[in-house]
Amino acid sequence: MAKVVGPRGRKVRILATLGPASDSREMIAKLMSAGADAFRINMSHGDQQAKAQLVQAIRSLEEESKRPSTILFDLQGPKLRVGRFIDGSAEIATGSRFLLDRSSESGTAERAELPHPELFEAVSEGDRLLIDDGKIRLRVAAVAPERIETIVEVGGRISDNKGVNVPDVLVPIPALTEKDRSDLEFALQQGADYIALSFVQRAEDVEEARRLIGDKALLMVKIEKPSAIERLEGILAHADAAMVARGDLGVELPPEAVPALQKRIVARCRELGKPVVVATQMLESMIHAPTPTRAEVSDVANAIYDGADAVMLSAESAAGDYPCEAVHMMDRIGRTVESDSAYAERVHFTATPAEPTTADALAESAGNVANTVGVAAMVCYTSSGSTARRIARERGPVPLLVMTASKTVARRMGLVWGVHAVHTRDVASFEEMVAKAKRMALRTKLAGPGQRLIILAGIPFGHTGSTNVMHVARLVGDELDDYSA
C-alpha cells in the first residue's frame, strides 16, 4: 500500500519564500515539516541555475513525503531606479529643489540621473515621486523632455540605485521586461505551478502574460499599484489567483488605506473563487527575533478570519535568523484561529453567491448538508481543479479531500483553502468512486468508521467541468448507507 500523508490540521495555507536562509534541501525539508504548504521562488535575486536546484530539491522531497509540492515563481517586473551618486550617496534637504535628468553623470545633493525616459513623458506638475520605499518624497514642480524639477517634501540621504515609486501615474511600461520573459520561459520549463506577475497596472498586462503562459501554469497577479486597484475587476478577470502585495501598496498609498483594500481584494477573490494570498511583513520582526510582536500575530489572524487562502512569509523565511520558527508560528496562529468558536461566523462575512450552474449549486449545498448530517469530510474528484476551487470558495465546515489523476492539478491545490490533495489513479465507475473515496478518507485519517463523507464528482468521469453528483456515504465496514443527489 502506497504511503498517503494526512492533512495539516488547518485550512489556511502557508506560502514560504526561499532564500539564503532556506535554500538547502535540508532547510526546505524542515520548512515542510514545520507546516509550509507552498514555496515562493523570488526571481529578483539569484540566477536561474540556483533556482533550478531549488525546484529539484522541492520535487525530490515531494517524492519522499508523498505530499504534492506547490511552487510559485515570482517575476521581478520593471524596477524604476535613480542612478549612481558621487561617493555613493548624497544628503538632500527638505524644502530644497532637486533635479532628475537623463544625464549619466554621478548624482549630487542637487540632481540625479533618472534612466527611465518613459517617466519624463508620463509625470505632470503636482505628481509625487517616492524614493527608497517612500523615505524621500518629491513633488514635481515642472517637466521638460530631459528634466523633471521637483521640490523635496521629505528629505534625507539618497544613495545609488534606490527605487522610485510613482503613485499618481499610470506608468507606460509593460509589466514584463526582457528579464521577466527569460525567467518566465525558465519557470515554465521547470514546471512552475503558479507564476506571480509584478507591476500589474491594467488588464492588458495580464493578458500578455496569459498568452505566454497558456495553461502551463496558473497566473497570480500581485496587487501592489494604485492603478491596479482602480482596474481590479478587469485584472482579476484574466487571472487565476491574486496576491495582496502590501509592501508597495503601503508605499504608494497612505498606510491607513491598506487594511481596507486588503479586505476588499480578499473578499472579491473569494466571490470569484480565485485563491488569494496576503503577503508582506506579516511576521517581520521574526527576521531577527525568535518570536513575533502581538500586532503581527493579530495581523496574520485577521487575514485568516477574512478567509484568505494563504498567508505568506517573505524575508522571514528567505533571509531571517528563524525561518522554521516563523513557519511554525504561522501554523500555530492558523490552528488557533480556526479552532475559535467564532471563526465559522466571521469567515462567512463575505457572501459567495453561486453561479446558475449545477456544479456551483452542489458546491453550495455541500456545506449545508455537511452541517445537517454531521459529515467528517468532503471528497471531490477533479481533472482540472475547478470543482475543488468551487467547494473551497464556500469555506465549508469540514476538510476537503481532493483526488485527481493529474499531478499538476494536485500541486496547484497547495494554495487553495481547506484542501488536502492526493494524486491517485482515476476511477471508471460510480461504485469505484465511492469505494476509493472511503479508503482514502480512512488512510488520510480524515474520517473513521461510523462517520459520513460527502462525495462530489462528475459523471461520466473524465469530463472537465461536469460535476453533477453529490453522494453521502457512511464508513461502516463494507456496508454503504447512502443518499444521492
Residues noted as catalytic: 40, 81, 222, 280
Sign of the dihedral defined by the CA atoms of residues 208, 211, 212, 215, in that order? positive
Half-sphere exposure of 343 (CA within 13 A, CB side): 23
Q: What contacts 227, CB < 8 A, 6 or more positions away?
A: 170, 201, 202
Residue type, position 92, single letter: I
Q: Give helix then strand counts, H and E, for the chain.
A: 17, 22
> What is the per-residue burial (b if ≥16 Cβ within 10 Å, else e) of 452-468?
bbbbbbbeebeeeebbb
Residue 123 in grid coordinates: 509625470
Name the helix (H) or strand (E) containing 358.
helix 358-373
**Cβ neighbours of 69 (radius 10 Å):** 23
* SS3 at position 483: strand
Structural contact between residues 221 and 255, judged by C-beta atoms closer than 8 angstroms = no
Which residues, in sequence order, are bridge partners of residue 15?
A: 38, 312
How far apart are the C-alpha atoms of 478 and 470, rounded to whole Å?
20
- CA pair distance 326, 36, nearest whole angstrom: 10
CB 450, CB 475: distance < 8 Å: yes
Per the CB < 8 A criterion, the answer to whether 86 and 107 are in contact is yes
